[in-house]
Amino acid sequence: MTVTLADVAARAQVSPATVSRVLNGNYPVAASTRERVLKAVDELDYVLNGPASALAAATSDLVGILVNDIADPFFGIMASAIQGEIGGPGGRAGGERLAVVCNTGGSPERELTYLTLLQRQRAAAVVLTGGAIEDAPHQAAMDAKLRKLADAGTRVVLCGRPPAPGTGAIALTFDNRGGGRELTEHLIGLGHRRLGYVAGPQERTTTRHRLEGHRAALAAHGIEEDPRWTVHGRYDRRSGYEAALELLRRDPALTAVVAANDSVALGACAALRDSGRKIPDDVSVAGFDDLPFSIDAVPALTTVRLPLTEAGARAGRIAMGREEPPPGDIASVRGELMVRGSSGAPRG
């Protein structure tokens, strides 16, 4: 039924071993033989059996990319950059690797199960992107899994995710704390003293770090924070809309709203507009990430640009062993404050 290596071998009048060597190309094969084999492959329309090959060679060409939410461009952009370096088919990398992105949806179980699935497939490398979940048991389970993967020879890279010490994983971490602080300091510098914060989901490291940066800025400037000024929600527009409304309800005198990310910020903008406030005249708004659409908001969003593409590409290269891991296997990637129209001095 299906064409096998042996069929090709028969047709080319060589042994299966030779065909295998031609296909893998790391063993001397005479040019004439190679050609004959290639011709047979072509004529028979032969397709290598991946599982069989992976089994025999004890390695596979699968590279997994775990993302929290594939519908979010934040992850889409990173995944795209990573995949671009993995080579995938057509990439500049020589070996053809199947870079696959797995969508965990932010669920701890799925995260773990995907890792197991990749472990099963004997993946060549795994890249985990975005914030981690802060739950001790889950984190322990993840670390154990990562360690096992690393031990089994799978290269593990964390991109935009906090380091996982002792697991053998290489981390490219975003400086969310620093970015958050810089952003809020910008607002404070403009004169704001009553700042609302629309945070992401409680249990995410990203959420906590950005919030900590924000609070550090407040503290550094002697601003006492009112607990009512923080609302947690999801990392999406809808959540930002609702949270901003809630913030306004709690303290109508806020002059600035800092959001956990750009999508949330856009939702907040909509809420402010719908409640009759002008941006930035009445209320300033700031986001985080600087996704492509942020510049198109009206007014354009003040935010912190994260080099998603660069970081992703680097993570991809490291995963492929084409770039040296950073010293200590940990690197911190900084964001850049982008001051735009959505932030201004408070009225008065």
Partner DNA sequence: AACGTCACAGCAAGCGCTTTCTATGTACCT
Partner DNA sequence: AGGTACATAGAAAGCGCTTGCTGTGACGTT
Binding site for a second copy (CB under 8 A): 2, 45, 47-55, 60-61, 64, 69-73, 75-77, 79-80, 83-84, 88-90, 96, 98-103, 105, 107, 109-110, 112-114, 116-122, 148, 152, 236-237, 263, 266-267, 269-270, 273, 292-293, 295-298
Q: Quick one: which segment of 24-32, 81-89, 248-256, 283-291 binds DNA (CB under 7 A)?
A: 24-32
**Which residues are CB-contacts of 178 (< 8 A; sequence separation ≥ 6)?**
213, 334, 335
Binding of DNA by 94 (CB under 7 A): no
Rg (CA), the chain: 25
Of 19 and 247, CB closest to DNA: 19
57 touching DNA, by CB under 7 A: yes
Residue 28 interacts with which of a second copy, DNA, none, CB < 5 to 8 Å by class: DNA
Q: Which is nearer to a second copy, 61 or 185 (CB)?
A: 61
* One residue of 35, 42, 43, 55 binding DNA per CB under 7 A: 55
Rounded Cα distance between 192 and 217, Å, is: 12
Nearest Cα neighbor of 161 from 100, 198, 109, 111 is: 111
Q: What is the Cα–Cα distance from 142 to 149, expressed in whole angstroms? A: 10
Distance of closest approach, residue 23 Cβ to DNA, in angstroms:
6
Q: Which is nearer to a second copy, 2 or 32 (CB)?
A: 2
**Short-list 335, 334, 329, CA closest to 157:** 329
- 222 lies in the site for DNA, by CB under 7 A: no
* Paired tokens of 276: 């009759």
Report the DSSP pairing between strands 336-338 and 303-305: antiparallel
42 burial (CB, 10 Å; 0-12 / 13-18 / 19+) is: exposed
Residues 6+ apart with CB under 8 A from 90: none
Q: Binding of DNA at residue 15 (CB under 7 A)?
A: yes
Least Cβ distance, residue 35 to DNA (angstroms): 10
Q: Which of 39, 56, 152, 322 binds DNA (CB under 7 A)?
A: 56
Binding partner at 137 among DNA, a second copy, none, C-beta below 5 to 8 Å by kind: none
Write down the least CB distance from residue 119 to DNA, Å: 12
Q: Alpha-carbon distance 25 to 13, whole Å?
A: 18
Give Cα 317 distance to the centre of its chain: 15
Query: Nearest Cα to 347, choosing from 265, 269, 284, 273?
Result: 284
Cα distance between residue 74 and residue 263, in whole Å: 10
Respond yes or no on whether the N-terminal peptide bond of residue 162 is cis (omega within 30° of 0): no
Residue 253 touches DNA, criterion: CB under 7 A: no
Q: Which is nearer to a second copy, 121 or 343 (CB)?
A: 121
* Min separation Cβ 139 and a second copy, Å: 18
Candidate residues 10, 38, 44, 49; the one interacting with DNA per rule CB under 7 A? 49
Which residues share a beta bridge with 158?
128, 171
Residue span binding DNA (CB under 7 A) among the ranges 11-19, 60-68, 239-247, 318-326: 11-19
Q: Which residues would be at the binding site for DNA (CB under 7 A)?
A: 2, 4-6, 13-18, 20-21, 23-24, 27-30, 32-33, 46, 48-49, 52-53, 55-58
